[in-house]
Structure 1
C-alpha cells in the first residue's frame, strides 16, 4: 500500500496506472480543537481495479476530523472504495463539540459495486452533535450502490448518509444509513 504526502499534513492514497487498486488514504491526526482530515483513497487504474479506502478522521476535544472519500474504481471493472469514518469530537471537559462527517464511498466501475459511506463521528459531552454519515457510491452499469454511513451519536444525532444508486442495467440501490 503506497501513500503520497499532500499539503496540510493530509495523506492521500496513490492512484494506480491503467490496472491496479488505489492506495488507502491516511488517518487524520488527533487534535486539541480540530481533528485532522482523513486522506482520500486513491483512484484505481483507469481501466480496472478497486478504489482505495478513505482514511478515518482524527479525534478531537472539540471538532472531529472528516473522513476521507473512497476512491473510484476503474472504468471497466472494480469496486468503489469505502469512505473513511468521521473522527469523534467533543471529548474535552465543558466543551460542546461536533463529530466529523463520514467520507463518501467511491463509484464502482461498469461492473462493480459502489463503496459504502463512512459513519459519522460520535460525541459524548452534553449538547454535542454527532457527525453526518457519508453517502454511498454509485454503481454504473452492473452492480449495487454502496450503503450510506450511519449517523454519529450525540445529544443531537447527525444525519444518516444516503445509499448510492444501483447500476443502470442491473443492481439494487444501496441502503440509507441508520440514525
Structure 2
C-alpha cells in the first residue's frame, strides 16, 4: 500500500466540497418538501399530501445521518494525511540527522543541507553542507551603527548566503562564497540609512570547472607540431621516420616467419614457385 499525502489532502478537500453542496441542496428542498399542501379539501388529497410530507421528513433524517457520516469520514481522511506527512517528515529528519552528525561534530557543518539563517546580532549565516547546500543569510541589523553580518558559505554545490543589511549608518554584510564546483556567490547586504555602505558580494567559486591557464595555447602548440611554444627541430622528424622504418621492418620479418609475406617463395620476376631464372 502506498499513500501520498498530497493526494490524500486533495481527496479530502474534494469530499468536503461535495458534502457542502449536498447539504445546501437538502436545506433548499426541506422547506418545500416537508410541508406539502393538499391539492383539495377532500380526504384523499389530504392523505396524499401527508404521505409526501412524511417521506420528505424521512429523507431529511437519513440525509442528516449521511452528512454526519460524511463529515466524520472527511475528518478521518484529513487526520490520516497529517499523520502520514508527520511520519515522512520525521523519517527524513532522522535520516538527515544521522548522515550529518559525524561532519557536524568534527567540522561544525553538515554534509547535506542548507545553512541556518542568522537570528541574533553579530551572528553570521550558517555554512551549507560540505557536499551540497546553500549558505544561510546574514543577520539584518536594526540598531544604529551595527553592521550586518556575512552570509554563509556553500560547500561543493550550492549558492552563498546573502549578507545582512546594516543598521542606520552602518555597512552591510558581505555575501557568502559559492560552491567549490558550482554555485553563485551571495549578494552583499544593503547599507543602512544615513550613508551606510553596501556589503561585498560573495565569490562564485566555479574554478574547478574552468580549464587551467594556458591550456588552449598548449593544445594549439601540440596540434601545430610544437611543444611549450617551441618549434620542434628537424631531428624529431628524422627520429619519427627511423622509428617508422624499424616498425615496418619488424612487421615484414614477422610475416616472413608466419609465411604470410606476399613475396615469400616468389622469384624476382613475380612468378610463384621455382623459376628457370633462379
Indicate the TM-score class for this superposition, using the shorter chain for normalisation. Answer: 0.5 to 0.7
Aligned to 1:105: 163
Aligned to 2:149: 81
Q: 1:107 to 1:43 in 2, by over 3 A?
A: farther
**Alpha-carbon separation, structure 2, partners of 1:155 and 1:75:** 42
**Alpha-carbon separation, structure 1, partners of 2:119 and 2:174:** 15
- Over aligned residues, Cα RMSD in angstroms? 2.4
Preserved CA contact (<8 Å) 1:108 1:114: yes
Deviation at 1:118, TM superposition (A): 0.2
**Alpha-carbon separation, structure 2, partners of 1:79 and 1:43:** 12
**Structure 1 alignment gaps of length 5 or more:** 1-7, 11-26, 45-50, 89-98, 124-129, 157-179
Give runs of ≥4 in structure 1 deviating > 6 Å: none
Structure possessing the higher radius of gyration over alpha carbons: 2
Which structure has the higher relative contact order (CA within 8 Å, separation 6+)?
1
Quick one: which of 47, 56, 61 aligns to 2:127?
Answer: 56
Aligned to 2:199: 146
Structure with the larger helix share: 2
Deviation at 1:43, TM superposition (A): 4.2
Quick one: which of 114, 117, 121 aligns to 2:172?
Answer: 114
**Alpha-carbon separation, structure 2, partners of 1:118 and 1:58:** 13
Deviation at 1:56, TM superposition (A): 0.7
**Alpha-carbon separation, structure 2, partners of 1:147 and 1:135:** 7
TM-score (norm. length: structure 2): 0.35
> Which runs of structure 2 are paired with 1:152-163 in the superposition (5 Å)?
152-153=205-206, 154-155=208-209
Aligned to 1:66: 134
SS of match in other structure, 1:38 = coil
The alignment covers a number of residue pairs equal to 106
